[in-house]
């Protein structure tokens, strides 16, 4: 099969400089810089988007260690027959486990410090099946010889023990074994008016999820104590763990359709909708900003082709006199630009994936070399640089960069095709 002469000439112009005139060597250097600029932009996009995906995944996993994939509540108060509803929900193949809960707002008081908190009543036996709370609870120090359990098992019905978020406990200045007072809005009616109820709780341990919003505002107590304290008469809802958390919205809709009217189902993305929306906007804006690097590389490609067209005026004129059409001349320079674009995009994807997949080791090496910590453990709950390269990000970046490179070749190629042989050869 005969190779089209446009392809052969386009390859020759791209490789110019390996042999021949010094000026051709300069053109080859400019082409190499165009490839490098496109590759740099594509690599930067892939690396930054992968790191942002990694941070988003880490924070999301931290959130899901505290919140459930799906929460079901009733508009008519406590769910008195929660066992039958739980059995109906767990019969679904996409549901792993369920657990009841009670929650409400309260004020913790210790000494002269008073602070608000979200008080969540949980079942210590069922809660570990739907969340990672048990893995986030620590019990530093000693609580006495009468306590042999650990983690959520420390919560016993009727003993009014509490596990405080680490930052909440730090604000209250309390340690395991000490007492804190909890005031709840549901009070007792007296001749002097409504008086909020207060109950003394013994601090059993700390919740350290790594997410400040939860560690500074959440307190865990036994579900029976919570039901008695808030006078709910039973669980307020069910926390549900699904097999695939990415399908939680679909599962929540399916659960809701199978329940009687008056129930609500909210998945984890709805509970943190504002945060995830903000992250998506930030990621999109960062991608647009970094895409400007690719745009700069495309402008460099335009400059390269314009200089090549200017340099090859006599060659173009000779080809035209030999019978080459304007389309053939245009194809030569489109091929040259396409080769530069494909090489730049391919190199950028390769370098971007290589760095993104090893960004943690690279950052640790730089930290060791410079003696600094980019993510101090004392400040951030993530001490290593996370990365999560995704095909959904890489493919659009590569395709858009390639299309932009091809578009950049059109004007110089059109100018080359418009070259008049007589004028080009006048002084040759």
pLDDT in tens, 124-160: 888 888 887 776 777 765 444 333 345 788 888 888 9
Q: What is the pLDDT of residues 203-222, one digit of tens each?
A: 998 888 777 778 888 899 99
54 and 91 housed in the same domain: no
Q: What is the pLDDT of residues 398-414, one digit of tens each?
A: 888 888 888 888 877 78
pLDDT of residue 145: 37
143 and 261 housed in the same domain: yes
414 and 280 housed in the same domain: yes
291 and 358 housed in the same domain: yes
245 and 100 housed in the same domain: yes
- Total structural domains within the chain: 2
Q: Which of 240, 270, 300 is the last residue of a domain?
A: 270
Lowest mean per-residue pLDDT among 112-121, 133-142, 243-252: 133-142
Q: Does 382 score more than 70 pLDDT? A: no
109 and 175 housed in the same domain: yes
288 and 374 housed in the same domain: yes
C-alpha span between 104 and 227 (Å, rounded): 10
| Domain housing 168 | 68-270
75 and 158 housed in the same domain: yes
Q: Does 426 score more than 90 pLDDT? A: no
Q: Which of 226, 248, 270 is the last residue of a domain?
A: 270
Whether 136 and 193 have beta carbons less than 8 Å apart is answered as no
88 and 220 housed in the same domain: yes
Lowest mean per-residue pLDDT among 30-44, 81-95, 157-171: 30-44
Q: Does 291 score more than 70 pLDDT? A: yes
Query: What is the average pLDDT across 250-264?
Result: 86
- The count of other CB atoms within 10 Å of the CB of residue 11 is 15
108 and 212 housed in the same domain: yes
Q: Which of 253, 270, 287 is the last residue of a domain?
A: 270
pLDDT band per the 50, 70, 90 thresholds, residue 333? confident
SS (H, E, C) the chain: CCCCHHHHHHHHHHCCCCCCCHHHHHHHHHHHHHHHHHHHHHHHHHHHHHHHHHHHHHHHHHHHCCCCCEEEEECCCCCCCHHHHHHHHHCCCCEEEEEEEEEEEEEEEECCEEEEEEEEEECCCCHHHCCCHHHHEECCCCCCCCCCCCHHHHCCCCCCEEEEEHHHHHHHCCCCCCEEEEEEEEEEEECCEEEEEEEEEEEEEEECCCCHHHHCCEEEEEHHHHHHHHCCCCCCEEEEEECCHHHHHHHHHHHHHHCCCCEEEEEHHHHCHHHHHHHHHHHHHHHHHHHHHHHHHHHHHHHHHHHHHHHCHHHHHHHHHCCCCHHHHHHHHHHHHHHHHHHHHHHHHHHHHHHHHCHHHHHHHHHHHHCCCCCCCCCCCCCCCCCCCCHHHHHHHHHHHHHHHHHHCHHHHHHHHCCCHHHHCCCC
Q: Can you tell me which residue has the tokens 């999109």? A: 284
* Burial group, residue 16, by CB count within 10 angstroms (0-12, 13-18, 19+): buried
CA distances from 179 to 57, 173, 191, 287 (A): 37, 11, 29, 50
Q: What are the residues facing 110 on neighbouring strands?
A: 113
Q: What are the residues facing 137 on neighbouring strands?
A: 207
Query: Which of 329, 316, 351, 335 is CA-nearest to residue 423?
Result: 316
Query: What is the average pLDDT across 172-178?
Result: 89
281 and 165 housed in the same domain: no
pLDDT of residue 222: 92
31 and 82 housed in the same domain: no
Q: Does 201 score more than 90 pLDDT? A: yes
Q: Does 16 score more than 70 pLDDT? A: no
| pTM for this entry | 0.69
């Amino acid at each position: 099969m005969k190779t089209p002469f446009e392809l052969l000439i386009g390859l020759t112009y791209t490789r110019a400089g390996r042999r021949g005139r010094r000026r051709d060597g300069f053109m080859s250097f400019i082409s190499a810089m165009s490839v490098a600029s496109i590759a740099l932009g594509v690599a930067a996009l892939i690396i930054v988007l992968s790191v942002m995906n990694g941070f988003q995944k880490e924070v999301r996993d931290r959130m899901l260690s505290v919140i459930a994939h799906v929460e079901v509540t009733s508009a008519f108060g406590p769910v008195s027959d929660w066992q039958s509803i739980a059995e109906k929900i767990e019969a679904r193949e996409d549901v792993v486990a369920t657990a009841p809960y009670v929650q409400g707002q309260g004020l913790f008081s210790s000494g002269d410090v008073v602070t608000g908190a979200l008080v969540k009543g949980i079942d210590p036996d069922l809660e570990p099946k739907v969340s990672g709370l048990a893995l986030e609870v620590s019990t530093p120090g000693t609580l006495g010889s009468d306590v042999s359990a650990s983690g959520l098992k420390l919560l016993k019905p009727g003993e009014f023990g509490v596990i405080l978020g680490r930052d909440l406990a730090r604000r209250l200045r309390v340690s395991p074994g000490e007492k804190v007072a909890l005031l709840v809005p549901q009070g007792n009616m007296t001749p002097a008016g409504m008086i909020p109820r207060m109950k003394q709780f013994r601090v059993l341990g700390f919740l350290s999820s790594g997410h400040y919003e939860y560690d500074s505002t959440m307190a865990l107590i036994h579900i029976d104590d919570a039901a008695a304290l808030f006078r709910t008469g039973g669980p307020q809802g069910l926390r549900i763990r699904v097999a695939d958390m990415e399908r939680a919205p679909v599962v929540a809709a399916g659960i809701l359709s199978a329940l009687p009217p008056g129930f609500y189902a909210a998945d984890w993305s709805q509970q943190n909708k504002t945060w995830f929306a903000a992250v998506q906007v930030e990621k999109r804006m960062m991608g647009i900003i970094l895409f400007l690097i690719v745009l700069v590389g495309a402008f460099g490609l335009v400059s390269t082709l314009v200089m090549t067209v200017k340099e090859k005026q006599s060659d173009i004129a000779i080809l035209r006199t030999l019978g080459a059409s304007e389309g053939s001349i245009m194809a030569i320079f489109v091929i040259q630009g396409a080769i530069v674009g494909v090489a730049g995009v391919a190199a950028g994807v390769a370098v971007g994936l290589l760095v993104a997949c090893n960004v943690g080791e690279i950052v640790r090496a730089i930290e060791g070399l410079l003696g600094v910590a980019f993510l101090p453990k004392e400040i951030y709950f993530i001490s290593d640089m996370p990365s999560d390269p995704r095909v959904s990000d890489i493919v659009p970046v590569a395709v858009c960069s390639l299309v932009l490179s091809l578009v950049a070749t059109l004007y110089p190629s059109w100018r080359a095709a418009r070259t008049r042989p007589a004028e080009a050869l006048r002084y040759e």
